Chain A
Amino acid sequence: MSWVLARGLSRGWGSICWDTLSGSHFSQVTPQAPWSLHYSTVNHKDEAWLVPQPSEPQRKPIRVLTPHEELFRPSPDGERDKASFVGAVQNFRQYSVHKRGHVDFIYLALRKMQEFGVERDLAVYNLLLDVFPKEVFRPRNVFQRIFVHYPRQQECGIAVLEQMERHGIMPNKDTEFLLIQIFGYKSYPMLKFLRMKLWLTRFKNINPYPIPRDLPQDPVDLAKLGLRHMEPDLSAKVTVYQMALPSDTPGAEDPTQPHIVGIQSPEQQATLAHHNPSRPVFVEGPFSLWLRNKCVYYYILRADLPPPEEKKVEEIPEEWNLYYPMKLDLDYARGNWDNYEFDIDKVTEGPIFAMCMAGAHDQGTLIKWIQGLQETNPALAQIPVVFRLARSPGELLTSSGLEGPSPLQAPPQGQEDDHPLQPLQQQGQSGVSGA
């Protein structure tokens, strides 16, 4: 059907419609106008000056306002919210009974939704669909159904649904009714609606680690959520070692007391208790964790793998009964049909003892965390703690036994890992931990 549309269009409406359908809706007006405005002035300047002048600062091209854009100006108290957006849409309707330019207005409104913060609101989308005149675009006979009836409007309807889908909003019965009223049953927006109904419901719950849509604003709650999200052990305990001091202005955190939230499971506690005090433990970080669209950083306390020599050898007791074997080690080899192991040695890394999220990325905060950990893990007092903090919060991956700085790589994001082993800190730390 799509090629029929293309052919029909090319014959019927020529290149004009071709351009519009090529999808330059969004930036149709803006780039054209300033270019033509500037072109003439530049020519004049070139003729007047023969000596190269220092380049003047780039002037932003004068933006021509799209029609109806003045409706979306912020309200007198500077607030952009749902009420003003709804008001703008209602104002458009009062312009004319015939609703000229409704397609452009709807595209403009879709673009403005982000600023007004209503892109998640189904009622607003329904209101926007309501702007279309009803019953006009419905095909009335088979010819109109074959050749896409009012293609620009159908495209616009699909654009509205597309933005809904992009933000993960499920359309409801009102949307369905509106679409039927506007476009009819056999239209492309209706088809898209059916597809959304099918696939959005199918993929609603496929995330095995779901995160609530509304993330908590409080950083301590966010840290708790993040730590619980990362830790597979359900019996792990989350401890808040330090709360951020409440300050007068909301949102400003006191730099002298950032929040510290840690997590440790009983197994990790036991492993730390059995850890050999002669081997150091490392505090590494910060690593990034994305919760929906928020990035939080966490630190881990881990140790390297013990070298193979240190593995304890189990003693074999001597046989005291010669008639029957006391210990039977029959190693029956299983056939390949039962072997579900992969033929590769997986990456093994040292044990991780605890994780934490802190408000500040400096060593002082982490020292406080270690001190808090020492209350529940008295063995930590004897173990030297080495701090390996990355300069920029990027990925710093745990190594398995490789000491020393890794070579710096080219990419400019500053995500590179570098191990600044600081011997001063180490001594300082062993001083602290010994005390």
Chain B
Amino acid sequence: MALVHKFQNSTSVLRNCLRPSAALNPFGALHFVDYSTSLQKPVAPPNRVSQQRKTEEGFQRHRQKEDALDITSPEEKPDVSFDKAIIDEAKDHFRRLKNEIVAHWIGPEGRPLHEVLLEQARVIWQFREKQDLDKWIVTSDKAIGGRSEIFLKMGKNNRSALLYGTLSSEAPQDGDSSQSGYCAMISRIRRGAFERKLPYDWSQFNTLYLRVRGDGRPWMVNIRQDTDLIQRKNQMYCYFMFTRGGPYWQEIKIPFSKFFFSNQGRIRDVQSQLILDKISSIGFTLADKVDGPFFLEIDFIGVFADPAHSEEFAYENSPALNPRL
């Protein structure tokens, strides 16, 4: 576990060295905008392109930092014996492995095959207990020196989760970034026995369903696939989520064909469909360059197979940008 995170940290160091040459811009060494505040005004075209750039890059690093902090900060009291803890953890992992093997006999992820194959709608994340909140990490540009804050807590009656905070697009005074201001909530990668990554398989579904209640701000939904490879560290598929505001619950359905590909926070020329085989995590970002408090109340997040949606991919590759395709 610690080894995994050390590896991630070392790759982040490597990435920092490579950063001047990484393609933040077609210009390569240019990173005059470190974290774009990426104004996402509700209607217009602004900064879609830049939005991704920074925010993605932003919270890749923070994810690693968060994980690193989780592991390396010592919170155990000195009177706990490490041997016992190690043995307990090993036993726990073996038990989970046994459960997984047993569940595999019943069907995928422990559910009978006929139920899984015929399923048209599945709830992936719900917020009914405190433990459900542990599956999410919240980050903001505080990690790079900005002033935005974000908090996550259970909503009223333990029936929803409330994500709230303040967005501040004041750029950190580190001489490097000229824009800032983002907040994000990312789901933790599902882990099985021995901390193996268990990706989600949503290949039978074609739409993402969110039941949220917002305050009128535009958010961005990011879906990340397996990111073990260094090249894939900052790649994700994104789309916008426009909240209406108001006291009514809003149902947002985003078909997976609408997600566009972005790397390091910038939308890429070569666009391809989101393959739903191995989904690692999902995240919500707010970076619309408007300073002020925000909140988002989430009831649950699910996927379903919309029979009326037949589009495979929404974006054509333009010959002007990539003539070889």
Looking at the complex, which one of B39, B50, B126, B156 makes contact with A400 (CB distance below 8 Å)?
B156
List the B side residues contacting A406 at CB < 8 Å.
156
Closest to B216 in A: A290
Do the beta carbons of A352 and B247 come within 8 Å of each other?
yes
Q: How far is the CA of A212 from the CA of B246 in the complex (A)?
A: 18
Q: Residue A287 at the B interface, CB < 8 A? A: yes
Do the beta carbons of B120 and A338 come within 8 Å of each other?
yes
Do the beta carbons of B45 and A203 come within 8 Å of each other?
yes
List the B side residues contacting A210 at CB < 8 Å.
42-43
Do the beta carbons of B49 and A155 come within 8 Å of each other?
no
Do the beta carbons of B293 and A415 come within 8 Å of each other?
yes
Question: Which residues in window 236-289 of B have CB below 8 A to A?
Answer: 240, 242, 244-249, 267, 269, 289
List the B side residues contacting A195 at CB < 8 Å.
49, 267, 269, 321
Q: How far is the CA of A291 from the CA of B218 in the complex (A)?
A: 10
Q: Residue B208 at the A interface, CB < 8 A? A: no
Question: Which residues in window 261-319 of A have CB below 8 A to B?
Answer: 287-293, 295, 298, 300, 302
Q: Residue B182 at the A interface, CB < 8 A? A: no
Looking at the complex, which one of B29, B45, B122, B247 makes contact with A6 (CB distance below 8 Å)?
B29
Q: Residue B224 at the A interface, CB < 8 A? A: no
Looking at the complex, which one of A170, A208, A336, A411 makes contact with B149 (CB distance below 8 Å)?
A411
Q: Residue B176 at the A interface, CB < 8 A? A: yes
List the B side residues contacting A1 at CB < 8 Å.
26, 28
List the B side residues contacting A204 at CB < 8 Å.
43-45
Q: Residue B36 at the A interface, CB < 8 A? A: yes
Do the beta carbons of A213 and B43 come within 8 Å of each other?
yes
List the B side residues contacting A415 at CB < 8 Å.
164, 293, 295
List the B side residues contacting A295 at CB < 8 Å.
292
Task: With both chains docked as a complex, state the minimum distance between the C-beta of B161 and any C-beta of chain A, in angstroms.
Answer: 11
Q: How far is the CA of A31 from the CA of B315 in the complex (A)?
A: 45
Segment of A36-44, A98-106, A135-143, A225-233 in the binding face: A225-233
Q: How far is the CA of A59 from the CA of B216 in the complex (A)?
A: 41
List the B side residues contacting A402 at CB < 8 Å.
156-157
Question: Which residues in window 287-302 of B have CB below 8 A to A?
Answer: 289-290, 292-295, 297, 299-300, 302
Number of residues in A with C-beta < 8 Å to the partner? 93
Known: A5-B27, A6-B20, A231-B246. A291 touches B216 (CB 8 A): yes
Do the beta carbons of A198 and B318 come within 8 Å of each other?
yes
Task: With both chains docked as a complex, state the minimum distance between the C-beta of B37 and any C-beta of chain A, in angstroms.
Answer: 8
Question: Which residues in window 355-398 of A have CB below 8 A to B?
Answer: 355, 394-395, 397-398
Do the beta carbons of A22 and B215 come within 8 Å of each other?
no
Q: Residue B61 at the A interface, CB < 8 A? A: no
Do the beta carbons of B118 and A336 come within 8 Å of each other?
yes
Do the beta carbons of B29 and A341 come within 8 Å of each other?
no
Do the beta carbons of B302 and A342 come within 8 Å of each other?
yes
List the A side residues contacting B218 at CB < 8 Å.
207
Known: A168-B41, A213-B43, A339-B120. A2 touches B21 (CB 8 A): yes
Do the beta carbons of A347 and B249 come within 8 Å of each other?
yes
Do the beta carbons of B246 and A198 come within 8 Å of each other?
no
List the B side residues contacting A409 at CB < 8 Å.
151, 153
List the A side residues contacting B5 at CB < 8 Å.
none
Do the beta carbons of A26 and B297 come within 8 Å of each other?
no
Do the beta carbons of A192 and B26 come within 8 Å of each other?
yes
Known: A166-B50, A289-B246. A155 touches B32 (CB 8 A): yes
Contact with A along B20-34 (1 / 0, CB 8 A): 111101111111111
Do the beta carbons of B49 and A165 come within 8 Å of each other?
yes
Do the beta carbons of A288 and B293 come within 8 Å of each other?
yes
Do the beta carbons of B42 and A397 come within 8 Å of each other?
no
Q: How far is the CA of A344 from the CA of B132 in the complex (A)?
A: 14
List the A side residues contacting B21 at CB < 8 Å.
2-3, 5-7
Closest to B240 in A: A206
Closest to B297 in A: A397
Contact with A along B159-173 (1 / 0, CB 8 A): 110101110000001
Q: How far is the CA of A198 from the CA of B260 in the complex (A)?
A: 13
List the B side residues contacting A231 at CB < 8 Å.
246
Do the beta carbons of B49 and A413 come within 8 Å of each other?
no
List the A side residues contacting B293 at CB < 8 Å.
288, 394-395, 413, 415
Closest to A2 in B: B28
Q: How far is the CA of A395 from the CA of B295 in the complex (A)?
A: 7
Looking at the complex, which one of A9, A335, A400 makes contact with B159 (CB distance below 8 Å)?
A400
Nearest 5 interchain pairs by C-beta:
A2-B28, A230-B246, A168-B46, A200-B45, A23-B32
Report 10 cross-chain contacts, Cβ distance below 8 Å, ordered by A residue: A155-B32, A162-B50, A168-B46, A188-B25, A191-B321, A198-B321, A206-B242, A207-B242, A292-B42, A342-B122
12 new A-B contacts at CB < 8 Å, known A165-B47, A290-B245:
A2-B23, A6-B20, A9-B29, A21-B20, A27-B173, A166-B179, A204-B43, A207-B218, A290-B217, A291-B216, A338-B120, A347-B299
- A residues near B (Cβ < 8 Å) are 1-3, 5-7, 9, 18, 21-27, 31, 148, 151, 154-155, 158-159, 162, 165-168, 170, 188, 191-192, 194-196, 198-213, 226, 229-232, 287-293, 295, 298, 300, 302, 335-344, 346-347, 352, 355, 394-395, 397-402, 406, 409, 411, 413, 415
